[in-house]
Structures are given as C-alpha cells and as structure tokens.
Amino acid sequence: MGRKFFGTDGIRGRVNDAPMTAEIAMRVGQAAGAHFLRGDHRHRVVIGKDTRLSGYMMESAMVAGFTSVGMDVVLLGPMPTPAVAMLTRSMRADLGVMISASHNAFVDNGIKLFGPDGYKLSNEDKRSIERRLSKEPKLAKAEMVGRAKRIDDARGRYVHFAKSTLPDHMRLDGLKIVIDCANGAAYHVAPDALWELGADVIALGVSPNGTNINDNCGSTHPQALRDAVVANQAHIGLALDGDADRLIVVDETGRVIDGDQLMALIAIDQKRRGSLKAKAVVATVMSNLGLERHLHKNRIELVRTKVGDRYVLEEMRSRGANVGGEQSGHIILTDHSTTGDGLVAGLQILASMIDSGKKASELLDQFEPVPQLLKNVRYDKGEPLDDAKVIKRIAAAEKALDGRGRLVIRKSGTEPLIRVMAEGDDMAEVEAIVDDICAAVAAA
C-alpha cells in the first residue's frame, strides 16, 4: 500500500493546503494516538514545534486529535526536533510529535512522529497510521478523554542534556562563538547552552516573529553568519536550521564548512580515541567523493545511502555505526541522539578545537573536495525524469563521467524539485553537465 500523507520525513506541505490543514492534523493525531494506545497505562504524547506562525494552529488541532482518542498531551512549546526525540524517551511517552517544516519557509509546515524509543517511525507504523486515516476514529468515552499540560522546564532539560555530551571538565572559556538560530526552534536553548559552558556568545536569528524562520538566516543562508564572524573576530560560527537538526559551520576566516568536513573531523577524532564503531561513517549519495577518499586513507569506510537522514539512521543502526549524516549538515551521533542534532554536533566540533588547540580553519580543512555542483529545477506537473530527452541527457552524462566522477539525480522528498548533482575533477565539465541536464528537465 502506498502512502498518501507520509513522505521521506513525515508529512509536509504548504499551510492550509492538503495535507497541511488543521483538519488533517487533527485526524493524524487521532490516527497516531489510536495506533499507540497499547496496554492499560495512561498514554502520553509529547508535542514540540518550531516558531512558524501556523504552529499554533497545527498544535491545537493535534491536541484535539490526541485527546479525543484518550491520549494525554505534554506541550513543550518551541523546541528543537532532537529535543522532542530526547524528551519522548526521558518522559516515557508513547509518542513524540515535532511540528516543523525544517529548513523551509514559514508558509510550509510539517509533522514528524517519533516512537517511544525516540526514533522516527518505521514504515510499518506509518502504513498503519495511513490506514487509520481512511477510517472513522474510535473516540474515547467522555471520562477517558485526554488531558493537555504545558511543561515549563523543557528548555532546561534539553540544555542540560546537550551540555552532558561534553566531558564534565570541559568549558568553552575564551571562545567567541557566533550562533545563528534561524529564528527557529533553538533560539533560546542553543545560545543558553553555549553561555552556560563559558563561551562569549553572539546570537543571531533569535527574534522569531512567526514569518522570519529561515529567512536569509540559518544553515541554508550563512552569509549573515559569515559577516558576523569576521566583523566580531570570532573563533567560529555555528548555524542551525529552523528545527535545529542541521549544522553548518563558519571558520574564523569566514569560510563555510559543510557536513562532509564535519563528519570527517568527528569520525577521525573518534577513531583516534577508540570510540568509532563499525569502522565506518554512513552518509548519502550526495556526500563528496573527497570525503570518501579521505576516510579511506584513514582506514574508515564510507557507506552511502539514499538521500534522507532516516535512511542514514537505518543503515547506522543496521551496522552499529555511531557517526553519520548528510552534506547538508544533518549530523547523527547515536552515542548521544536518535536523530540529527545541530547543537550537539556543534559541541563536538568545539570540543575538538579545545583538545587540539587548533583554529577552526586548520581543524576543519580535513580534505580537498572534488569539484561538485548541485542545482535544483522546479517543476509543476508530470514526471520530468521519465521524459525521453531527459533520460538521454542523463545517459550521456554518466558515460562522460564514468570512472572520473559521479552523477546523482533525484526528486526532492519535500518539494516539487528535481535535484541535479555532478562531481568530477574538471569543474568546467561538471558545470556543463549539470546545466545541460537542468535545461532538459526544465523543458520536459
């Protein structure tokens, strides 16, 4: 059975257009709540959200859905996605919900669901919830309707958790750090955690108004962070996205560092300390060939998956690996978290700076990336990748790059986009190949 609502990372779309309406959010609450009503204990769901305007509407709708089937609700308010996953486990909840569209603009929203173990739901769970969405819900009797409660110390709990991922003796005294929270879910917790550890903190993107989340700020728009790092002569800059499960770093010179370099540093550090598991890093097909070559030199295997942090995590769990992620900045460290956590990943980078005594520019120049180019082509209808001309152009490009590079073309799982990526030792050839395929897709 195909899934109508769930994509690669939960449910996502433009607000007040199906599936991202209050009515459907309530039905998802009813269906997910009913699916997790197991046993005779009082059932509980934890709900967090980011700072976008529609979060209030979606939160209220989901509260109505969950309570109507007899599940109690704990409301966290604006909190990072990894905080919701962590609190779902620590509060012994049956289910966790994050209302967020991650790095998308405020006009979009989404629903991510976590099981009681803090991991994103399995395909089997999602299929079961999909089936329930097509049926009338079984509502609780009046005396069994759920209660809703907002807790006030959720931020403090997550800050304490994030700090605990560093050694007890470690402090950030003497480090000037710029943190860009994308006007999103981490706008309080990330600066607080860095300040409590002793850093001199300059915070950007910490004035959410409901519509400015990810708006020329955060991990997808690092220019403001670059400018602030250089202007303030900071040691490093950290940029999160709207729900704080991504991290992009800027070194003291203003150079933007992507997730591939971060994974390389963390993995090699862990190998040196004897804590890297499975002798492998799990990443996606989008990670640079330079990362693969660099890890190989350090006797670490790079295992590639489809694009999407859930695929990375599935492979990590299968292999027993503890370091993985995406070039876009999803860094998953399973010794600490069950999902990507931008703040925790950032703290591991800061720990490496302190241990090594090196500047960020020295530490994060792990390898020379192979020239790589990614472009997105928006489409309105049809399946551009099934077009005969597009297929022909792709075949020609693969032949040209054979043995000297890679070509990765895929549909976005969250937007109507075709993503075209090529890499090889000749940048001019890479650009020509990407532009040629993009033109064919646009004309399809």
Q: Which residues are catalytic?
A: 102
Q: How far apart are CA 375 and CA 159, in angstroms?
A: 37
Question: For residues 245 and 198, is the Cβ–Cβ distance under 8 A?
Answer: no
* C-alpha to C-alpha distance for 299 and 393, rounded to whole angstroms: 36
DSSP label of 10: B
CA 81, CA 186: separation in Å to the nearest integer? 9
- Cα 350 from Cα 179, distance rounded (Å): 12
Q: Which residues of 158-176 are buried (b: 16+ CB within 10 A; e: fewer)?
A: bbebbbebbeeeeebeebb
Q: Which of 191, 180, 168, 162 is nearest to 82 (CA)?
A: 162
Tell me the C-alpha to C-alpha distance, in Å, between residue 394 and each of 76, 371, 400, 408, 431.
47, 19, 10, 10, 14
Question: Distance between alpha carbon 398 and the CA centroid of its chain, in Å?
Answer: 30
Q: How many angstroms separate the CA atoms of 362 and 308, rounded?
A: 30
Rounded to the nearest angstrom, the gap between the alpha carbon of residue 407 and the centroid of all alpha carbons in its chain is 23
Burial class (CB in 10 A: 0-12, 13-18, 19+), 429: middle
In whole angstroms, what is the distance from residue 70 CA to residue 72 CA?
Answer: 7
Residues in the chain, total: 444
Q: What ranges make up the beta strands (E) of 352-411?
A: 372-378, 405-411
Between CA 188 and CA 176 the distance in angstroms is 18
Phi, psi of 251, deg, nearest 5: -80, 180
Q: How many CB atoms lie within 10 A of CB 213?
A: 32
Tokens 């529609």 label which residue?
54
What φ, ψ does residue 341 adopt, rounded to 5°? -140, 105
- Rounded to whole angstroms, the Cα distance separating 102 from 49 reads 10
